[in-house]
């Protein structure tokens, strides 16, 4: 249909017979395409007997590839406003470009002023990280084109950065931070890198194929936030009645199970590959949360509480 559109817009007046030979399909298939473009997409197509072919009766700027209802448009605009909290990041420019393309494809079938409707909708995020275009743009190109990259990377608590070379498989935005997951060429191991810690990104000529068994969902299955980990921990946390209301109203992890307690509290069970992030989360609930297992998490939180008690003595 895009090729038919191009022929119509160029004024070549194609007909079903010539198009069926060009695309090697049945004439009835071409007829259905014309009917769909005219009746479903609203394109001004008419058969011109004098030219023995079809043509546009008025100027058409672009092919209406997007079919969307007013409700869907509203949902899309709300999602756009949610992403507006990342103003100043690379996503802002790309999101605006995507919206312009989608609105252009609506072909004037919907008239909608989002300002008033969205004035009562807002979104916020705590601890949002900044990303440099000089890092994000070459990295995103490398991920799409399957090319190796090199960069300087400074790990937490490290005095200086190290030169790394990876095959970037996937970009993930988790806990207000963007990460790239890929295979470290030197260490021949799957690694995860935070974009704010990367500098001097260069795209190499070497290409690669993402392994068929790599899955971002599987990679992050055991992550409570962004750290996937390699362990296998069954985590049980008991929340008192005051905190239980807030715990029940959210989905904290895909593996979660909840059990109501006789005192009005709730017990949350998770299956995680790393304990560092869930420890910080448990501590944020103060005395309203008590870890029942595993022992590693209980011991780590106990040590942290002793240190805090000494500092606040």
3-state secondary structure 72-120: HHHHHHHHHHHHHHHCCCHHHHHHHHHHHHHHHCCCCCCCCCHHHHHCC
pLDDT recorded at residue 84: 64
Give the pLDDT score at 105: 58
The answer to whether residue 233 scores a pLDDT higher than 90 is yes
Q: Name the fold adopted by 2-56.
A: Arc Repressor Mutant, subunit A (1.10.10)
> Residue 82 — pLDDT band, cuts 50, 70, 90?
low
Mean pLDDT of 118-124: 63
In the chain, residues under CATH classification 2.30.30 are 133-219
233-311 CATH: 3.30.70
pLDDT at 86: 60
Q: What is the pLDDT of residue 154?
A: 93
pLDDT surpasses 80 at 83: no
24-56 per-position pLDDT tens digit: 899 999 999 999 888 888 899 999 999 999 999
- What percent of the chain clears pLDDT 90, i.e. is strictly above it? 56
For 256-270, how does the pLDDT look when each residue is reduced to its tens digit (9 = 90+)? Answer: 999 999 999 999 999
What average pLDDT score do residues 174-188 get? 90
Nearest-10 Cα torsion for 203, 201, 216, 82 = -120
Question: pLDDT at residue 89 above 90?
Answer: no
> Measured on CA atoms in the order 291, 292, 295, 299, is the torsion positive or negative?
positive
Of residues 66 and 160, the one with the higher pLDDT is 160
pLDDT at 81: 67
**Stronger pLDDT, 22 or 120, i.e. the higher one:** 22
Q: In the CATH scheme, what is the code of domain 133-219?
A: 2.30.30
CATH 1.10.10: which residues of the chain? Answer: 2-56
pLDDT of residue 140: 85
Q: What's the pLDDT band for 255 if we cut at 50, 70, 90?
A: very high
Q: Name the range with the highest mean pLDDT among 206-220, 221-235, 254-268.
A: 254-268
Average pLDDT, the chain: 86
**Range from 14-23, 258-267, 298-307 carrying the lowest mean pLDDT:** 14-23
Domain with CATH 3.30.70 in the chain: 233-311
Across residues 83-87, what is the average pLDDT? Answer: 62
pLDDT confidence of residue 108: 52
pLDDT of residue 175: 81
% residues pLDDT > 70 (the chain): 80
Mean pLDDT of 172-192: 90
């Amino acid at each position: 249909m895009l090729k038919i559109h191009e022929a119509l817009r160029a004024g070549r007046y194609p007909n079903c017979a010539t198009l069926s030979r060009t695309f090697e399909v049945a004439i009835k298939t071409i007829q259905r395409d014309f009917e769909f473009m005219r009746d479903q997409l609203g394109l001004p197509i008419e058969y011109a007997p004098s030219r023995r072919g079809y043509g546009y009766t008025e100027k058409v700027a672009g092919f209406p590839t997007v079919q969307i209802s007013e409700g869907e448009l509203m949902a899309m605009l709300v999602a756009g406003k949610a992403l507006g909290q990342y103003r100043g990041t690379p996503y802002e420019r790309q999101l605006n470009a995507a919206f312009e393309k989608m609105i252009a494809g609506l072909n004037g079938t919907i008239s909608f002023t989002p300002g008033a409707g969205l004035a009562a909708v807002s979104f916020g995020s705590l601890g949002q990280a900044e990303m440099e275009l000089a890092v994000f743009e070459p990295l995103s190109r490398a991920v799409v084109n399957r090319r190796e990259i090199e960069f300087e990377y400074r790990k937490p608590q490290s005095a200086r950065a190290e030169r790394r070379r990876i095959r970037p498989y996937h970009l993930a935005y988790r806990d207000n931070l963007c990460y790239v997951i890929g295979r470290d060429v030197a260490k021949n191991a799957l690694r995860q890198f935070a974009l704010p810690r990367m500098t001097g990104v260069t795209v190499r000529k070497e290409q690669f194929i993402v392994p068929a068994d790599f899955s971002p969902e599987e990679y992050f299955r055991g992550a409570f936030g962004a750290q996937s980990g390699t362990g296998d921990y069954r985590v049980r946390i008991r929340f008192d009645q005051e905190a239980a209301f807030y715990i029940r109203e959210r989905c904290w992890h895909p593996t979660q199970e909840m059990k109501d307690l006789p005192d009005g509290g709730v017990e949350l069970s998770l299956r995680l590959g790393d304990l560092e992030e869930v420890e910080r989360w448990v501590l944020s609930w103060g005395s309203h949360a008590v870890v029942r297992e595993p022992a590693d998490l209980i011991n780590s939180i106990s040590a942290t509480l002793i240190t805090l008690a000494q500092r606040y003595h």
